[in-house]
Structure formats: C-alpha cells, structure tokens
Amino acid sequence: MAEPGTIDRPSYGMVGGGPGAFIGDVHRKAIALDGSARLLAGCFSRHHEGTLETGRSLGLDPQRLYRTFEEMAAAEAARDDGIDFVVIVTPNASHHPAAKAFLSRGIHVVCDKPLTLEISEAEELAALARRNDLLFCTTYTYTGYPAVKHARAMVAAGELGEIRFVNAEYAQEWLATPLERDGKHKQAAWRGDPAQTGIVNAVGDIGTHVENLVRTVTGLRIGYLSARLDTLVPGRRLDDNATVLVDYEGGARGVYWVSQVAIGRDNALRLRVFGSKGSLEWSQEDPDHLQVSMLGRPSERLSRGRDPFHPGAQRHSRIPAGHPEGYFEAFANVYRAFTAALRKKLAGKALAGEDLDFPGIEDGISGVRFIHRCVESSSRGSARVSF
Amino acid sequence: MAEPGTIDRPSYGMVGGGPGAFIGDVHRKAIALDGSARLLAGCFSRHHEGTLETGRSLGLDPQRLYRTFEEMAAAEAARDDGIDFVVIVTPNASHHPAAKAFLSRGIHVVCDKPLTLEISEAEELAALARRNDLLFCTTYTYTGYPAVKHARAMVAAGELGEIRFVNAEYAQEWLATPLERDGKHKQAAWRGDPAQTGIVNAVGDIGTHVENLVRTVTGLRIGYLSARLDTLVPGRRLDDNATVLVDYEGGARGVYWVSQVAIGRDNALRLRVFGSKGSLEWSQEDPDHLQVSMLGRPSERLSRGRDPFHPGAQRHSRIPAGHPEGYFEAFANVYRAFTAALRKKLAGKALAGEDLDFPGIEDGISGVRFIHRCVESSSRGSARVSF
Amino acid sequence: MAEPGTIDRPSYGMVGGGPGAFIGDVHRKAIALDGSARLLAGCFSRHHEGTLETGRSLGLDPQRLYRTFEEMAAAEAARDDGIDFVVIVTPNASHHPAAKAFLSRGIHVVCDKPLTLEISEAEELAALARRNDLLFCTTYTYTGYPAVKHARAMVAAGELGEIRFVNAEYAQEWLATPLERDGKHKQAAWRGDPAQTGIVNAVGDIGTHVENLVRTVTGLRIGYLSARLDTLVPGRRLDDNATVLVDYEGGARGVYWVSQVAIGRDNALRLRVFGSKGSLEWSQEDPDHLQVSMLGRPSERLSRGRDPFHPGAQRHSRIPAGHPEGYFEAFANVYRAFTAALRKKLAGKALAGEDLDFPGIEDGISGVRFIHRCVESSSRGSARVSF
Amino acid sequence: MAEPGTIDRPSYGMVGGGPGAFIGDVHRKAIALDGSARLLAGCFSRHHEGTLETGRSLGLDPQRLYRTFEEMAAAEAARDDGIDFVVIVTPNASHHPAAKAFLSRGIHVVCDKPLTLEISEAEELAALARRNDLLFCTTYTYTGYPAVKHARAMVAAGELGEIRFVNAEYAQEWLATPLERDGKHKQAAWRGDPAQTGIVNAVGDIGTHVENLVRTVTGLRIGYLSARLDTLVPGRRLDDNATVLVDYEGGARGVYWVSQVAIGRDNALRLRVFGSKGSLEWSQEDPDHLQVSMLGRPSERLSRGRDPFHPGAQRHSRIPAGHPEGYFEAFANVYRAFTAALRKKLAGKALAGEDLDFPGIEDGISGVRFIHRCVESSSRGSARVSF
C-alpha cells in the first residue's frame, strides 16, 4: 500500500465509528486525504460483529479488531508495532474511560468533543497525559479551517485593535421536530439520551464548538456568563436552543446563540469579532472566505489563497483560491498538525508551541467547563456565574 | 402648486428639522414623494433664525414660522386653515412637551421615537390623544417596508407555525470612536448627552427599533427580559452596545443585540423569526427581499412584487419587483397610512383596525418601557425583570 | 438643493402617463421627492377623458389639460406662465413628433428612451435642440444611481487602469410567457407591437439601458458589434433575448446579454468592468453597493455614504449609508441635475460641462444607433458591423 | 463504498505530477480520500531524479519508477501485478502519446483535459479504447460536484421545461499580468507556450470546462458557434479571454465567456440555464448550493443534503448539508465512479450506462473540437461556423 507521505507516518487505532455511525468515517477519510496516518486496529462497535464488519471493509488484520477498548489498549500497548495513537469517536459518556485506558498505557489520544461529562474527568485526563508525556487532541474541527487560522493571526497581531465584542452563533434545523423519539435516527437518539450525552444536548454538541471557536480566534478567556437553555420542542428531555451572555476577562463582552430548531439552517456556525480598529466575520458554510472591515473603510472579502492571507494560515491549504476546500480539509488539518507533532515527538525531538497548532486538552477542559457553567446559570434564572 | 393627490390632502407643520438636522428633511421628502400632505407651518429650530432660514428655503408663509412650539400650537389651533397635524422631530427630551402642546390644542401628532423619556409621559400622551380623539403616530420607520408587512402577514396566518425563537439585531459603526466628544457632529453630540437623549443611547436610538420590529412582525409581547448594557468606547457617558435576553408571553424566547460600535456595519437591522413550521429572515439593508424557509425545504428568497407576496404587503409598493424601493418609501408608507386614516377621520368617517396600519402610541409606550426595563435589569447585574 | 415648495423651481407639463400607464407616475413622484419642479399642464392620454381624470387627481387647472400634444405645445408656448419643460412618457413611436413639437416652440424636453424609432429622427431632434438652445434629457434612469456615478469617477480617474473587458447584462422574467397575446397587460401589449415599439423589443427596452450604462461608466465608444437577436417564446413577433459582442474603439472588448425570458430575474441589470489594475461590479437590484477588486487584493464592497465613496457621487445621495436609496432616488437624481441646469439657464447663466450631469440627447442618439446596428448584424448572421 | 485499505481496490500508476507540479498531487489526494485505488507506479517527471524524489516521498517501490511513459507502459503491462489504470497529468501536448502507449498495452486510462491537441488524435484514442475494450476518463472535475449532478437530473426530468438559453462563464484573475514571461511560474510558463499547450490557452484550459459543464448538465449539443478570442495582455502569445455565441441543435441559444484577466475572480466558473418553466444557477465557488427559480415563484436555494436534492446526486456526497464539500470531493467523485466501473469490469461484469457516471472520451473529443471551432471562427472575424 502506498499513500502520500507513507514511510514515516504514524499508525492509529479507532474506538467507535462502526456501522451506522457518522463521524468515525469522517475521521478516517480526513486522515486518508493527506495520508497522515495508517489505520491498523479498531474497536468500532459495542457489538463485536459490527467491529468485524467495519474492520473487514477497511482491510484490517482481524487480530487487531477488539471486543472492548480496554482489551485494545492492553494488546496494542504490548505489541512492538502497536498503534501510535488512538482516535475516540464514541458517544460522549465513554470518552473519559476510553481516553484514560489508552493514556494509562502510554498511547497518544485524539478524542471527540465534548471531552467528558464532568470537569474533573477532563482534568484527570489532562494530568494523566502530562504525567505520561503524551499528546492529546480534542477534535474541535472548525478551528482547522485556514480562514480561522487567519482570523486568529489577525487578532493576535492586533490588526483589529482591542477586542470589544464577539457575536457567535451555531444554528441548525435538524432537531426542529422530535426526531429522537421514533428511534430510527441513531444520532438523534443518543444525543437526546442524557445517559449517553450528558446534562446538555445543544450546548454540548454545538455550543462547545462556539465556545472553542471564540477562544481559539480571539484568545479571550471567559470571566462570567449568564445562560438561558431552552427546550423549544415540547416533550424533549434536553436543551435544543441556548443563549449565553459572556463577560470576558479584560472587559470585552459577547453573546453566543446556538439552536438545533432553526428551520432553514444547515450547519450555520458563524463568528463575528469586533475590535477598536476593525472587525471580522466568518461563516463555516462558506469557509474559504472571511469578511474584514476596518474603521471607516469598505468591507473586504478575503479569499483563502489570495493576498493578504496570512502565510501561517495559507500553509493549511492545498489548492489555489477559488477551488473550495471544506469540512474534510479542515478535519485533515487537525490531523496533519497532530501527526506532525507526533512524528517529531516519536523522533525524540522537543516540541515548540507552534508545533501544537491543534486543539488540545485545555480546549477540551474549557468546553466541559462551559457546559457546566451554562447549566448552572440557566438553572438559577440566568444568573451571572463565574467561569 | 400641484402634486399627486393634491386636492384633499391634509396640511401639516413641523417642530424640529432645521439647519443641520438630518431626520426632518427625510420626513418632508417622504411626505412629498406621494404628496401625502402639505407643509404649511414650522418651528424648525430653537434659534428663530434657523426656523426662518428653513422656512424660506421651503417657500413657507413667514407668518407661520414660529419661535416656540407652544406659540405654534396656539396660533395654528386658532386659525381656520390651521394645520391638521404636526410632525415632531426634535431630540428625545422635547417630544413629550411638544406632543402635549399640540394634542392639548386638538392637533393630531406624528412624533419621532423613542417617544418620551419617562413611561408615565408616554402614557399621559396616550390618554390625552384618546380623550381628544386624535390620531397619534410614532415613526418607527422600518415597519413601513412592504417586506415587513409581508412577514407580519405570514406570522399572523400561522404559516411559520408556533413562534419559538426570535433573533434580532441592529448594528452600526458610527460610534466606534468617541465622535460625540469633538462637538462637531451634531447628532452624535445630542445623542451622547443624557440631558437631551435620556438614560440610554443605543438602546433608545436603535434598540427600540428592534423591539418595535419584533413586536410588529410577530405580535409577541415581552414577559421578562435580562439586559446587559455596555459602554465599549472608553469615556463614553451612555451605552453604545447592548444584549437582551427576552422571554415572551406564551413561551417563545428571543435575543436582541444592538451596537453602534460594530465596525463594518452601516445600518444593519436584521430580523430572524423561527417557528415550528418555518422561519423568516429580513435585512433592512436589502429591504425588498425576505428569506423564507419551511421545514425540510430549500430556503426561498421572496421579492417584493413577485408571487407569493401578500397583497396586503404589496399595496405598500409603487413599482415592480427589481426596481428597488428603500428608506424613503418605507417612511412614505407610514405617512401614506397615517394621512389616509386622517383624511377618513377629517371626513367624519369611522376608522377600522385596518385603517391604523402605522405605528401608534402603544408602540411608542412599549418602546419607552423597553428602555426602562433594560436599564433596570442591567443595573442589577442583568437580572431577569418583568416587562 | 431643492425642497418641496421651493420658490424658484421650474414648471413642467407631461405627455403620456395617464390611467393605466406605469412610468408617468414614477416620473411625477421622482420629481416630487425633491420638489424639483411643479406640474402645471398635461396631455396624459390619447383619450381626453383619461387626461381629464389624471389631471383632476393631480389637482391641475382644467385649462391646462390638452387633447393633443400639438395643442399643448402651442398653448403653453403662448402663455406667459407656460411650462418650462415637458416630460414625454408615451410609447416609443410618438417620442419624435412630440419632442419635435415642443422643441420647435422653444420648450425644453425630457424624453423617455429609446429616444426615437429612426436614427435620423434622433439626429433631427438634436439639431433642433441645438438650434433653439434648449436642454434635452433622455431618461436613462440607471445612470442616476450614486454608485454608477462613483463607478464612472473611478474609471475616469484611471483607478482601474486601461479598460480591457466589459460584461453587462439585463435579465428579466416578465415575458417568459406570451403575455402580450391576451391583451390584458397594457405594457406587454404595446411593447410587443412593432407599430408602437419599433423594430425591436428587448434590445430597445432594456438593451439600450445596457448600452447607455456602459457608455456612461466607461466612456468607451463602440467601434463594431456582432449581435444575435432571439425570439425564444414561440410565436412572439419581436426579440425577447439578445447577445452582442462589442469591439470598442481603442481595443477593449465586451459582451452584452439581455433577456426578458430569464425566469427568476426581476430586473437584473448588472455591470462588470475589467481593467489592467482592477475591476468593478454593480448590480441595479442592490444599487447602494459596488464591488471593487484591485489586482492581487481582496474584493471590497463599497457602500454609498461610506469612504471612499467619491464626493461627486456622494452628493447624489440624501441619507447615510445603510439607509437604502432606490429607483425613485435614481430617477430623482436625473431630474435634480436636469432642473438645476435648467434653473441656471433660465437665470441666464452659462452652463459648464459638469452642469450637464444627466443623460442627454447624444445618449439618446447612441441608443437608437445601437438598436439599428444590432438588427443589421443579426439579420446578416451576426456579422460584425461598424457602429 | 470504498474505504482506506479496502481489499479489492484497483491499482494505478501516474504520468506527470512530479516536483513543482500542481494537479498530480490533487489527483492522488482525491483518490486517497475514499481509498478508491492504490498508487503503485510512476513516471512523474521528464527528469528521472524528479520521478525518484516524488516516488520516494510517496513510499513507492523504486522498481516501479520509470524513466519514460513508454517504458512504464511496457513494464507494467508485463507484470502480473501491473497497474490497472494510469493517470496522465502532463502538459497537454503529451496527453495523446502517453494515453496511446497505455491503451495499446491494455491499460485503462484517466487523462487530464483538454484531451489532445488535434481532434483526430482524440478520435484515435477513442477508437483504440473501444477496440481494446478499455475504460477512458477525461477529468472534467467540475461535473463531479453533487449539485451539478442534481442540475443534470433536473434538466433531464424536464423540470425546467424546454431549455431556451444558457449563460456560462469562467473567470479568473491569475493571468491579468504577463506572469508567463518571467519564467518563475511553472504553470503559467507551459500554459503560455504553444509548443506545450497547443493553439489556445484560456479556451483550452477553462473554455473546455465551460463547454463540458453545459454539455453535461443540459445534454445540449452545439450546432454552430461564433467565437472571438482576445489577447488582452499586450505581448501575450495566446488568448487570455474569449466570448462565444452558441447555437445548439434544436433551437436553444447560449453565450460562454472565459477570462484569465478578470481581476477579483479566483476560479469563478458559473452556469445559468433558462428553460420555459424554470431556471437554475450554480457557482463553482459555492458548490454545495444551487439556485432554482420556477416561473412566477420565488427563487429557491437548494443545499446538498437537504430535500429535494435528487438521490442520484446526493449519493455523490459524504456528509450532511452545511458541512462543505469542495474541489477534492468533486475530484474524488470522478474517481469513485471510474473505479467502481473498473472494479465491475475487472470482475467480468457488464457495465450499464449508469455505471459510466464520469466524463468519458466523448467529452474529451467534444472539448478538442470546441477548441478548434473557436479558433476557426475567431480567425474569420467571429464567423458562424458549424460544430
């Protein structure tokens, strides 16, 4: 088998991503696009038949298809040619035990968001990764877009001046009806079930993307927040809409809105950042462009690949301006950065800050904290709570 | 002089709108577009020279140019050919005394928003108008757009189902710098001065437009709100940005955001209404179009003048689809509806509800209440307050 | 600046614009918006009852409502207080005799486009106007938009470099069905009738707008053209779609496309101009904005009213950025410029080039020539013909 | 469904795509995304060092890195485990000899466009492929987008009625300056050199994409055309802009415009198709959406993944609506369809028409014919020539 970058690329295993799952295949394709890593092992399903079926279709060695993630962690850690890292793409409730199993065995981890159900669980993983000197990536995909990197670079360079206000939102239509009730829609079913998804639905699934996107682009840290979680479809068990007033450390303010009942919206994650000198706006559904407005000037529409796109953002691109890159490429960028750091680490080299250009465990912890603070505030009449 | 509709059109006078003012001239042009009324009298400025200068340029009879609005109200009420109605376009603080003067003399009133500084003042005007059987229009211009009428008709007909969430915003750039400080910008100066503008700036100037637009389109009434008023430009005396969480009576929720420090935005009033069957979106800067999305269907872009534009909305238009109508036409629609009602009233006919298709005094009162409730909530740490 | 009631504003009469007509009322409203002139006389319809009805509704003196335009020209020329100018808004075939009647009597003329049926007729009017020292305006409305003025200023200042290519189009849906056949649609009926409209339909009605817009913005003069006129709705008598390859003097090239069978398009006039340093794009349906792209830079979206809008363009505006101006305001700008020049002329002052900032008789002649050259080329298999 | 590591996936070799080349790596990544095939052999460069370097970086067996494509065709044909197909991504002039070499040896071919320099060469390849019963794919990438498939399905189902007019364009900025002259830009240099690129530049590079896109979506066949090829940058040797009037068989008309000097445009391929019942519009830079307008109705914006997206189009997608797919996915769709057909063929099964859902050799021939007819017409003063 020969793929771009083959020779020294790391190997990985996957937990989750079996038959009927959505996101696991996306991770695999995103890794394959750049040939960032080789898939060698898996525990794709809670049902071993599912794991075998997926493993077969992927051409994996049956010896490396496991019944449980614990078994997989133990067996792979014991092999000379064991996997370098694991990708965890199960429902939220299993993230913590799975990640812990691999970290404990010295295997690097990539884990889906939201990272864990409890803040303490996320902090435990962080401590474990640190102790065992392991890399940890939380797949906040949307920060992989080159335009998001450019936005971050603009803010960091002070091009927008002092940041004053952030307006971020993430609107979807898909839960505008009680889709989770008929049981046929696998994702709606587990996301609507507190046992699998945790204390929130929309705030965890898409709210944490908003929180992470703002955190990444602006570098701002939340000081206080006031949240109102809504259940707008009658009979639903968890939130499907939420609005959060955010006070950042340092005086900037923000508002976040997330909704899964917003008819007409596919996956409308949008960010607007206003500073004292200028502003920027980005929409995930048109990811290659970025609107930038400087005080008193006409708005500009930046294209990935066209000046003045920041070189540090541009290197996350593969093709010229006007040839759209999308969600897979954003995902692939996360893996390209993670595996580059991993190769360096495996080669025994020291990692610098710029090597860690992927969402890490601190991002994961912040997301879990965001969930808990929103629930706390909302349950107290949208009281202003400390972050 | 001959204009469309000349013969039976009512006559009016104006308070405010002298040299250097902005909105007075807009009112006059909007009235002239359709020839809805004839300007016969004025007290355009606190400085009589200003009134004389403006009056001269408008070809008015010098006998009907007054030193004070009190004098004007008295003199015009005494004339056989006195004005039928007055248009009040002064800074906010004078709205109440001026409107009171004319209502007391039996003269119908059109007054700019926000209506008054105090809720009790607005209620007093309402009582006075009712007692003297006079029409009262509060010029919330943006509800004059045909697309807004269409949106209102859609909601009223239940086409969007049960309304669940409203996201409305109004963003401008013009106060992103401390423009009010150098004293050269007349409007910035008075709007930044609590003595003339009241206890709020952005919330009063543009926040009330948001409140009125939502109220008009959805018919929803606010039950509770939590507001955070921000002063994002250091040293400014009043708010220049605000976010408000709204709980409507009946269970729907909303969020309003207004900003005058949003670099890159000219006059970006935007409304999104989400129901159980569909949603709509409208942007004031592209007023002839309306985005409508029905559950599971592609979004539609309605054009004023193209099916299925509601006939009751379409009759507020003058030209075919694709020939843009704008701000003047929206303004003219308010006056066309007001003067049509007035002509009917002057002819001694009874007015039906549909004759009152212009923002009235209840809209004015609601706007003032909104201002006060926002201040109250914000000053108490964004506490949830009853409306 | 002209305001309602301004003392020294000129007076006008109108030929056409009676009951059921569309454009006459638009002219009257556009004039009224700024109070640019006073309507005093009319021959609104071929049926005197129609003229009387319209005259009455406009409050005109019955003495000045005429049976024929010849009678009107004679009578008004004989009065001391006769009209200063006439507005001709009849179907195309009567433009020439009507304009000739008034020019012959020393009355200034504003005439709708296309100016005449024959090139020689247009040239005769030009000679007559010159001989009698009269102003002549051909109402190519779309050049009245401030953004068009800005585009013209950019090209004139060389900001786009050498102009290389122009792509202009005007697409409408309204004749996608054989609307003219059932006789109920007054405008479709006369436009589809060669006796009233001339040798072309789409090319004359909207093609000449394209020709004029390009001519105005770029200053380019057509050297040669190759045209293909299509009748895409079976059974129609005249063209409803056309494409024209244009070779300008000096080496630039262009393509024009017009269609009245373009389903989904309301009134989609659009201009793109490409130079060696930059390009611009403007769409009539979003008239307050202009997209400007400079070599290697992100595209900018200029707003009327926001820097760097050219002052010479900005003075054609009445309200700040973000408060949309539309079709009436563009129309009003033509009249504001024409009547300003007329006032100067009536006051005996000399007119400079910049006073003539409205489409004149040369624009009218060019439009008629464009029609004839297109027909000539199309009838010869799209042969390249000299302009 | 094909996944990374799938056991039965075909193997391929590549000609071209060495150091400094652009498109070869795009092909490899697009194949890797879905794991559609395994790269086993290559002749990536005319310089063997280049081939070795690229081969090494891809982890290929050095035994299968060849000095010439002739050597590669012979050696691979002789191996038991020889490649199933070859991908040819060299400059245009070598397409014909390279494709011929592989077809002659019984190896299936994927070749970049424009297919050959001469029409007869393309026809020779077609005859050879037919004779040897080999699959042939011409990589007109843009037809791989799901939205293009949907557009094709709409037209085929008669949803737009009789097609009347097509307006298609492809505008880029990148050759707005004489980039090919300094020799540093590899692609500009070979594209500007008639020895490598043939008798046209823009018409061949992007014009044939337009021709193919229209052909694919509408099924219309060109009867006659009139073309004007322009060289708008002084001193350039080939065309950089062109406009073509197209008469289709059956009476529909069209206009194509392509430009590589259109400042502000990245890769603006756009298609508009107008029928008697409706129209559609698609822009490659926003590939997941499609604007559809039905007579008298508001325009709709279809999203890939949202109803009513045609199932036959939807199956070319991998992720839900709102998760952007782009250029790589379109490319991957071509390979997914090609390799699916190839697997079926290698398994000895008969191929049905629907198996050939990728651009074939007839598309390749049509493109070369388009180039030659454009040149012929343009050299004769844009004369109307038979296709």
With respect to residue C42, please indicate whether it lies within any of the assigned structural domains: yes
Q: Which residues of C touch A307 (CB under 8 A)?
A: 296-298
A4 pLDDT tier (thresholds 50, 70, 90): very low
The Cα of D38 is separated from the nearest Cα of chain A by a number of Å equal to 6
CA atoms within 13 A on the CB side of D9: 25
pLDDT tens digits, one per residue of D313-369: 999 999 999 999 999 999 999 999 999 999 999 999 999 999 999 999 999 999 999
Number of neighbouring beta carbons within 10 Å of residue B286: 18
With respect to residue B350, please indicate whether it lies within any of the assigned structural domains: no
State whether B103 and B177 are in the same domain.
no
Contacts of C113 (CB under 8 A, 6+ apart): C138, C139, C140, C208, C209, C212, C364, C367
Both ends of chain B: CA-CA distance in Å? Answer: 49
Q: Which of A134, A160, A191 is the last residue of a domain?
A: A134
Q: Are strands D136-138 and D108-111 parallel, antiparallel or unpaired?
A: parallel
State whether B83 and B190 are in the same domain.
no
**So what's the pLDDT on residue D357?**
96
- Identify which of D194, D191, D154, D138 has the alpha carbon closest to the alpha carbon of residue D281: D154
Question: Given an 8 Å threshold on Cβ–Cβ distance, is D261 in contact with C177?
Answer: no
Rounded CA-CA distance C90/C101 in Å is 14
Rounded CA-CA distance B206/B259 in Å is 8
The Cα of C202 is separated from the nearest Cα of chain A by a number of Å equal to 34
**So what's the pLDDT on residue B181?**
85
Tell me if the bond preceding D97 is cis, omega within 30° of 0.
Answer: no
Given a contact cutoff of 8 angstroms between Cβ atoms, the answer to whether D204 and D114 are in contact is yes
The Cα of A248 is separated from the nearest Cα of chain B by a number of Å equal to 13
What total of structural domains would you count in chain A? Answer: 2
Amino acid at C2: A
State whether A224 and A197 are in the same domain.
yes
Q: Give me the residues paired with residue A275 across strands.
A: A163
Q: Which residues of C337-373 are buried (b: 16+ CB within 10 A; e: fewer)?
A: bbbbbbbebeeeeeeeeebebbbbbebbbbbbbbbbb
The Cα of A313 is separated from the nearest Cα of chain B by a number of Å equal to 23
Q: Is C380 helix (H, G, I), strand (E, B) or coil?
A: coil
Range of the domain at A32: 11-134
- Identify which of B265, D290, B272 has the alpha carbon closest to the alpha carbon of residue A265: B272
Interfacial residues of C (vs D; Cβ cutoff 8 Å):
164-165, 167, 169, 173, 176-177, 226, 228, 230, 232, 241, 243, 245, 253, 255, 257, 259, 261-265, 274-279, 281, 291-296, 299, 381-382, 384
Given a contact cutoff of 8 angstroms between Cβ atoms, the answer to whether B54 and B21 are in contact is no
With respect to residue A337, please indicate whether it lies within any of the assigned structural domains: no
Question: Given an 8 Å threshold on Cβ–Cβ distance, is C243 in contact with D253?
Answer: yes
Q: In the predicted model, what is the mean pLDDT of residues D2-21?
A: 78
Rounded CA-CA distance D33/A34 in Å is 8
With respect to residue B335, please indicate whether it lies within any of the assigned structural domains: no
Q: In what order do the strands lie in the sheet with D38-43?
A: D38-43, D11-15, D85-88, D108-111, D136-138
User: DSSP assignment of B216-252, as one string?
Assistant: HHH---EEEEEEEEE--STT-SS-SEEEEEEEETTS-
State whether A219 and A75 are in the same domain.
no
Q: Tell how far CA A359 is from the center of its chain.
A: 7
Given a contact cutoff of 8 angstroms between Cβ atoms, the answer to whether D163 and D252 are in contact is yes
Query: What is the rounded radius of gyration, in angstroms, for the C-alpha atoms of chain A?
Result: 21
- Identify which of C83, C143, C40, C73 has the alpha carbon closest to the alpha carbon of residue C359: C143
Contacts of A316 (CB under 8 A, 6+ apart): A144, A145, A146, A149, A333, A336
Structure tokens at C313: 């363009």
Residue with tokens 């190759």: C226
φ/ψ region of A134 (left if φ > 0, alpha if ψ in -120 to 50, else beta) reads beta
Selecting from D296, D297, D307 the residue whose C-beta is nearest the C-beta of B297 gives D307
**So what's the pLDDT on residue D95?**
98
Q: Is A178 helix (H, G, I), strand (E, B) or coil?
A: coil
B5 pLDDT tier (thresholds 50, 70, 90): very low
C157 exposure class (CB count in 10 Å sphere: 0-12, 13-18, 19+):
exposed
Q: Is C294 helix (H, G, I), strand (E, B) or coil?
A: strand
pLDDT tens digits, one per residue of C174-227: 999 999 887 778 788 888 888 888 899 999 999 999 999 999 999 999 999 999
- Identify which of D375, D369, D353 has the alpha carbon closest to the alpha carbon of residue D126: D369
With respect to residue D378, please indicate whether it lies within any of the assigned structural domains: yes
Contacts of D11 (CB under 8 A, 6+ apart): D37, D38, D39, D40, D81, D83, D84
State whether C291 and C176 are in the same domain.
yes
Structure tokens at A93: 């409730």
State whether C98 and C180 are in the same domain.
no
Amino acid at D35: G
**So what's the pLDDT on residue A26?**
97
CATH number of the domain that residue D164 is part of? 3.30.360.10
Q: How many interface pairs between B and C have CB atoms less than 8 angstroms apart? A: 145
**So what's the pLDDT on residue D184?**
79
Q: Is A142 helix (H, G, I), strand (E, B) or coil?
A: helix
Question: Given an 8 Å threshold on Cβ–Cβ distance, is B295 in contact with A257?
Answer: no
Interfacial residues of D (vs C; Cβ cutoff 8 Å):
164-165, 167, 169, 173, 176-177, 226, 228, 230, 232-233, 241, 243, 245, 253, 255, 257, 259, 261-265, 274-279, 281, 291-296, 299, 381-382, 384
φ/ψ region of A140 (left if φ > 0, alpha if ψ in -120 to 50, else beta) reads beta
Q: Which of A76, A108, A134 is the last residue of a domain?
A: A134
Rounded CA-CA distance C243/C256 in Å is 6
CATH number of the domain that residue A130 is part of? 3.40.50.720
pLDDT tens digits, one per residue of A259-268: 999 999 999 9
CA atoms within 13 A on the CB side of D31: 28
**So what's the pLDDT on residue B3?**
40
Question: Given an 8 Å threshold on Cβ–Cβ distance, is D306 in contact with B298?
Answer: yes
pLDDT tens digits, one per residue of B253-262: 999 999 999 9
Selecting from A262, A295, A381 the residue whose C-beta is nearest the C-beta of B176 gives A295
State whether D198 and D125 are in the same domain.
no
Rounded CA-CA distance A374/A204 in Å is 10
Query: Across all residues in chain D, what is the average pLDDT?
Result: 95
With respect to residue D284, please indicate whether it lies within any of the assigned structural domains: yes
Q: What angle do CA C30, C36, C40 make, to 5 degrees?
A: 90
Q: Is B81 helix (H, G, I), strand (E, B) or coil?
A: coil
State whether D160 and D101 are in the same domain.
no
Q: Which residues of D touch A305 (CB under 8 A)?
A: 266
- Identify which of A198, A209, A24 has the alpha carbon closest to the alpha carbon of residue A113: A209
Torsions phi, psi for A171 (to 5 deg): -120, 130
Identify the chains in contact with A, defined as 3+ C-beta pairs within 8 A: B, C, D
**Would you give the DSSP letter of residue B351?**
P
With respect to residue C333, please indicate whether it lies within any of the assigned structural domains: no
pLDDT tens digits, one per residue of B356-380: 999 999 999 999 999 999 999 999 9
φ/ψ region of C197 (left if φ > 0, alpha if ψ in -120 to 50, else beta) reads alpha
Question: Given an 8 Å threshold on Cβ–Cβ distance, is C228 in contact with D241?
Answer: no
Percent of chain A at pLDDT exceeding 70: 98
Structure tokens at D223: 């009867």
Given a contact cutoff of 8 angstroms between Cβ atoms, the answer to whether B209 and B168 are in contact is no
Q: Give me the residues paired with residue C107 across strands.
A: none
Given a contact cutoff of 8 angstroms between Cβ atoms, the answer to whether D320 and A267 are in contact is yes
Selecting from C292, C297, C307 the residue whose C-beta is nearest the C-beta of A296 gives C307
Torsion of CA B270, B272, B273, B278, to 10 degrees: 140
Structure tokens at B294: 């029905």
State whether C158 and C299 are in the same domain.
yes
Question: Given an 8 Å threshold on Cβ–Cβ distance, is D291 in contact with C264?
Answer: yes
Q: In the predicted model, what is the mean pLDDT of residues D299-305?
A: 96
Continuous H helices in chain C: 23-34, 48-57, 69-78, 95-104, 119-131, 146-156, 186-191, 194-197, 202, 208-218, 311-314, 327-346, 361-379
Q: Which residues of D touch C173 (CB under 8 A)?
A: 293, 295-296
**So what's the pLDDT on residue D19?**
93
Contacts of D268 (CB under 8 A, 6+ apart): A322, D169, D170, D171, D172, D262, D283, D284, D285
Selecting from D263, D381, D382 the residue whose C-beta is nearest the C-beta of C279 gives D263
State whether B39 and B117 are in the same domain.
yes
Examine the pLDDT at C2 and tell me if it is beyond 90.
no
**So what's the pLDDT on residue B186?**
79
**So what's the pLDDT on residue D4?**
41
Q: Which residues of D touch C243 (CB under 8 A)?
A: 245, 253, 255
Residue with tokens 């877009």: A145
Q: Which residues of D touch C299 (CB under 8 A)?
A: 264
Q: Are strands D163-171 and D253-259 parallel, antiparallel or unpaired?
A: parallel
Q: Which residues of C touch A298 (CB under 8 A)?
A: 292, 300-303, 306-308
Which of C53, C139, C285, C286 should one mutate to test binding to chain B, selecting the residue with the greatest count of B CBs within 10 A? C285
Question: Given an 8 Å threshold on Cβ–Cβ distance, is A299 in contact with B275?
Answer: no
State whether C116 and C217 are in the same domain.
no
Q: Are strands B85-88 and B11-15 parallel, antiparallel or unpaired?
A: parallel
Q: In the predicted model, what is the mean pLDDT of residues C334-344?
A: 97
State whether D17 and D114 are in the same domain.
yes
Number of neighbouring beta carbons within 10 Å of residue A333: 28
pLDDT tens digits, one per residue of A71-123: 999 999 999 999 999 999 999 999 999 999 999 999 999 999 999 999 999 99
Examine the pLDDT at B91 and tell me if it is beyond 90.
yes
For helices A208-218 and A361-379, the axis angle rounded to 10 degrees is 120
Q: Which of A76, A109, A134 is the last residue of a domain?
A: A134
With respect to residue D139, please indicate whether it lies within any of the assigned structural domains: no
Selecting from C268, C287, C323 the residue whose C-beta is nearest the C-beta of B327 gives C323
